[in-house]
Amino acid sequence: MWLYLALGSALLLGLYDIAKKKATEKNGILQVLFVATALSTILVSPWLFKYDSTLHSHLLLLIKAIIVTTSWISGMIALKLLPITTVSTLKATRPFLVVIFSIILFGERLNALQWAGVVTALAALGLLTGSNHQEGITFKSNKGMAAMCISIVSGVVSALYDKHIITGFEPLFVQSWGNLYITLLLGVCIGVYQLARKKDIERMSIHWDWTLVLIAVLITGADALYFFAIKQQGALLSVVSLLRRCSVLVTFIAGALFFKEKNIARKSINIVVLMVGMMLLLLGSR
């Protein structure tokens, strides 16, 4: 069951990335994050006080919120500055770091088919280097790429931390309070930005867009499926993280059809190889 929960989360994540890209056309990065997370918190608010909690549990969730907020803000900056197809494929590096640390920290073991999937997908990411150079993207000079690197590292830490704390909590407890703390942190970030740059207050105003509601619904569903997946007995965080990167297929199609992004033909090779790796992982995990 956890395999299908992970795939369902991947589908929603792909749609979520598309909606985020669209939303940043009318609003700034922080506004999109703040409104969408606040709406998501409202959606899961019935579970805020359903479970018993302690000061220690809330401290753990606050730490989680700080990690996630760092990942989200840097990720949104990258999404604003880079092509969505490049961002989505680069995000696929997260699971491979998660695989390594899942083996080291949690003692997870992969079978032959699963390892074949990991190696195949890594090869696909290697092919991405040529596509990035054709678009003028380098790790040394591009601000969007620097933001993406920060997002990747904090995203890996977040996944490992989720696996660590989920064993002691109910998934919806983690999601509801985690969202609330993230919303508060984003509110603080917006306030600090306004105080530091008073001339840009007008730019910080929120222009309502129903895409914000769509983002909230999609991320709420994606997170719920993810937390329930890693909570299940026998679930491998390394495999779940890799399967969730199937979201790249959804965003790749959108980038080609709706955003008219460059170098699609070359990137399609990466996607095909990456999907072969995902299929090997799926077959090896059944």
Q: Are 187 and 31 in contact (CB under 8 A)?
A: no
| Region for 236 from its dihedrals, namely left if φ exceeds 0, alpha if ψ lies in -120 to 50, beta otherwise | beta
User: What secondary structure letter does DSSP report for 135?
Assistant: T
pLDDT tier, 26 (very low <50, low <70, confident <90, very high otherwise) = confident
Q: How far apart are CA 265 and CA 181, in angstroms?
A: 42
With H, G, I as helix, E, B as strand and everything else as coil, classify residue 167: coil
Q: How far apart are CA 127 and CA 109, in angstroms?
A: 27
Q: What is the mean pLDDT of residues 133-150?
A: 68
* Residue of 164 and 207 predicted with greater confidence: 164
Q: Count of H helices and E strands in the chain?
A: 12, 0
Q: How far apart are CA 227 and CA 225, in angstroms?
A: 6
Q: What is the mean pLDDT of residues 43-60?
A: 93
Choice among 62-76, 172-186, 261-275 with the minimum mean pLDDT: 261-275
Instruction: Decide: pTM greater than 0.75.
Output: yes
Which range of residues forms the domain containing residue 202?
2-285
Q: How many domains does the chain have?
A: 1
For 258, other C-beta atoms within 10 Å of its C-beta total: 12
Q: What is the mean pLDDT of residues 109-121?
A: 83
Q: Which residues of 137-165 are buried (b: 16+ CB within 10 A; e: fewer)?
A: beeeebebbbbbebbbbbbbbbbbebbee
